[in-house]
Amino acid sequence: MVSVSGSMPGVANASGASAAQEGFRRLFLTGQMKISAAIARDFSASSPSTTSTTLVLPALTGTQIGYLLVEITGTGFTNSGGVTVTGTGINMVINTGINSSGIFQYVTTTGGITITIGTTAPNVSGNIPPMFYQVTYFIYSPSF
Amino acid sequence: MTSVTASSSMNMDMISRLMLAGQVKLVGATSLQYVSTATQTVASIAIPALTGSQIAIVYLELSAENIAPLNGITGAEPNTSVSLTASGTGVSVSVNLSPVTARSSTNTIAASQYFRNSAFGTTTTGSQTVTFSSISLSGYTYVTAQASVFIYTPPF
């Protein structure tokens, strides 16, 4: 089960964000949507048990809208882990348990935000905390 | 074949649509298949110089098939994990799998299981070489690690 809490203006539930992604892909073809930045991290054999990464969401102009999608998956073990996304106007706290995943969306009309993506280790002593996240920032520039 | 257990929905489908839009081109691809617990080096890819608003997309795809139960392993299922990591200036992307295969009481499995996951990251730094490494904690897992680099020219 994936849960989310905190102050999250513009955060949609997992199904809403998933539907938005399909819309994004269609908008690529029209030249109205672009990928601005993306990072992805895992907890695994080659990764530290905790991470903290910053990502700059560029400022928006005119009628542009920024969409930040946070995808998280936990697999295989009973212990849970989580991802936090913090910055000016955004405070997402997402926890994930065994074999669960979710997609969450943050919407901004101004951008110009530096977010910090932190992770909480699933705390599996002696084993590998199997957690993965992908964070992508899209910018939508309406054609009218 | 078992479906994906961990997945980013930002996959090749998205990139292929960007290619159709004429905004993305492939500049390099590399892959490695192995069965080992030793750290593996996947061949590196050079990112050319970027101009204007171009960014590079580093795409990773990892697949694994767990064969442990077929080798007479007894006791608890190994807590196996497989990862693939890209390293380079401004590149922050890695992906993992936890290809744990359920066993019966006789330590056999009904069928091999296949797992896959993908992820991507971006960098604005061109004229650099991105390196890749992969680690598997199980010596009984077939791993295929694939990495690609694309140049993305945004429409605005």
The ipTM, to two decimals, is 0.79
Q: Assess contact for A135 and A117: CB atoms under 8 A.
A: yes
Report the alpha-carbon distance of residue B118 to residue A5 in Å, rounded.
27
Mean predicted confidence (pLDDT) in B73-78: 49
pLDDT at B111: 53
At B123-148, the pLDDT tens digits run 999 999 999 999 988 777 889 999 99
Q: Please determine, for residue A58, whether its predicted confidence score (pLDDT) is greater than 90.
A: yes
Domain boundaries, chain A: 2-140
Pairing of strands A52-57, B141-152: unpaired
Q: At what angle do helices A14-30 and B12-20 cross, to 10 degrees?
A: 20
Pick the residue from chain B with its C-alpha nearest to A23.
Answer: B14
CB–CB of A44 and B135 under 8 A? yes
**Looking at the domain covering A2-140, what would its CATH class be?**
mainly beta
pLDDT at B79: 56
CB–CB of A39 and B121 under 8 A? yes
Which of the residues B3, B9, B20, B62 would you substitute to probe the A interface, choosing the one with the greatest number of A C-beta atoms within 10 Å?
B9
Report the gap between the CA of B47 and the closest CA in chain A (Å): 17
Q: What is the value of pTM for the model shown? A: 0.83
Domains and CATH numbers, chain B: 12-152 (2.60.120)
Chain A residues near residue B137 by CB distance under 8 angstroms = 45, 128
Report the gap between the CA of A5 and the closest CA in chain B (Å): 21
Chain A residues near residue B136 by CB distance under 8 angstroms = 45
pLDDT at B68: 52
Which of A50, A113, A59, A58 shows the shortest CA–CA distance to A86?
A113
A43 touching chain B per CB within 8 A = yes
pLDDT at A84: 84
